[in-house]
């Protein structure tokens, strides 16, 4: 079969499965299990970059970079240095030409390789428009990246790792996908908060002890001070940043405490806002993980 006939057959097959079963992700892949080249509409590229709050100090990695549009737009609009990883060498050549035409060749590069052979640790932001099974295969490696690394996926989620943010937009111009809609998901790699953390808060109860159980960025917390268990709610972990509200009696009076901290290895550093409706004050808070 000629190259054109083969390509036409693949395109027809793809158009058929997309039209027949737009939400059936498995049908999206070619017979050989790879992801076809389908572009992200420019408006969605912009949303993906904005949800990641991308900037000039970021290092962007687009896994399966197609014609290079995500990396090129990030460089052009946000001054971001970026790398596109693409298995198809003809798309690498196209991306390089597109980068030159956009005047960003000095900020971007494109590498012809399998995304599963790529070192992801270089990135502060990773974008991808792949397939659910690709996302799930990548998930353990993504979770092992530096806490706070942002991951943005077009259309496909990450199983039971719920996103930190998600949005859905109408994209009637999209040739394939989900009912003329695009979904954008953002995850922040969560810091490891698990275990028992103890820290002194001078002038407010003395030694505070926290216990954190964690699944991805979801935290279940318990707090104890002066021999009393306190009520913990509103716990949130976003990358390295942890926040929690603790209520209960401290030094004989009912207080609300809003803890905020940055997790750095076995240490959390931040502050606590202590209030009781009559007065409020901010106190420094440091806690260390103990076995």
Quick one: which of 17, 27, 79, 88 contacts ligand SAM (CB under 6 A)?
88
> Which among 28, 33, 39, 47 is positioned nearest to 64, based on CA atoms?
39
- 14: contact with ligand SAM by CB under 6 A: no
Residue among 182 and 257 whose Cβ is closer to ligand SAM: 182
Using CB atoms, what's the residue nearest to ligand SAM? 64
Quick one: which of 14, 18, 60, 69 contacts ligand SAM (CB under 6 A)?
69
- 91: contact with ligand SAM by CB under 6 A: yes
- 109: contact with ligand SAM by CB under 6 A: no
Q: How far is the CB of 149 from ligand SAM (least distance, A)?
A: 18
- 78: contact with ligand SAM by CB under 6 A: no
> Which among 114, 129, 128, 131 is positioned nearest to 17, based on CA atoms?
131
> Which among 134, 71, 127, 131 is positioned nearest to 104, based on CA atoms?
71
Residue among 66 and 205 whose Cβ is closer to ligand SAM: 66
| DSSP one-letter string for 203-266 | TTTEEEEEEEEEETTEEEEEEEETTEEEEEEEEEEETTEEEEEEEEEETTEEEEEEEEEEEETT
Quick one: which of 14, 40, 174, 232 contacts ligand SAM (CB under 6 A)?
40
Contacts 24+ apart (CB under 8 A), 8-16: 10/36, 14/176, 15/175, 15/176
Which stretches of the chain are assigned E, i.e. beta strand? 59-63, 81-86, 108-112, 125-128, 150-154, 165-170, 181-188, 195-201, 206-215, 218-225, 228-238, 241-250, 253-264, 267-275, 280-290
Q: How far is the CB of 106 from ligand SAM (least distance, A)?
A: 21
Q: For 133, left (φ over 0), alpha (ψ -120 to 50), or beta? A: alpha
- 129: contact with ligand SAM by CB under 6 A: yes
Q: How far is the CB of 57 from ligand SAM (least distance, A)?
A: 22
Residue among 112 and 145 whose Cβ is closer to ligand SAM: 112
**Positions 139 through 198 that interact with ligand SAM (CB under 6 A):** 154
Residue among 74 and 91 whose Cβ is closer to ligand SAM: 91
The residues of the shown chain that bind ligand SAM, judged by CB under 6 A, are 34-35, 37-40, 62, 64-66, 69-70, 85-88, 91, 114-116, 129, 154
């Amino acid at each position: 079969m000629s190259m054109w006939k083969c390509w036409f057959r693949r395109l027809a097959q793809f158009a058929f499965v997309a039209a027949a079963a737009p939400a059936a992700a498995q049908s999206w892949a070619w017979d050989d299990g790879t992801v076809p080249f389908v572009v992200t509409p420019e408006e969605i590229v912009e949303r993906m970059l904005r949800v990641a709050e991308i900037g000039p100090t970021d290092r962007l990695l687009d896994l399966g970079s197609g014609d290079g549009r995500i990396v090129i737009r990030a460089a052009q609009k946000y001054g971001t240095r970026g790398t596109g990883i693409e298995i198809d060498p003809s798309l690498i050549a196209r991306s390089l030409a597109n980068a030159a035409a956009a005047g960003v060749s000095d900020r971007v590069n494109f590498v012809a390789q399998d995304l599963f052979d790529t070192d992801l640790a270089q990135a502060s932001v990773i974008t991808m428009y792949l397939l659910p099974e690709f996302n799930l295969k990548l998930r353990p490696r993504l979770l092992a990246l530096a806490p706070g690394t942002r991951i943005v996926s077009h259309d496909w989620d990450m199983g039971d790792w719920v996103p930190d943010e998600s949005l859905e937009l109408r994209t009637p111009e999209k040739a394939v996908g989900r009912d003329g809609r695009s979904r954008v998901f953002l995850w922040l790699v969560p810091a490891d908060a698990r275990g028992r953390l103890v820290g002194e808060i001078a002038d407010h109860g003395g030694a505070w002890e926290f216990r954190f159980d964690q699944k991805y960025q979801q935290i279940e917390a318990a707090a104890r001070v002066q021999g009393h268990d306190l009520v913990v709610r509103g716990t949130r972990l976003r990358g390295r940043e942890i926040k929690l509200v603790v209520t209960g009696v401290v030094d004989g009076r009912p207080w609300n405490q809003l803890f905020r901290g940055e997790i750095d290895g076995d240490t959390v550093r931040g502050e606590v806002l202590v209030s009781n409706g009559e007065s409020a004050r901010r106190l420094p808070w440091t806690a260390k993980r103990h076995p």
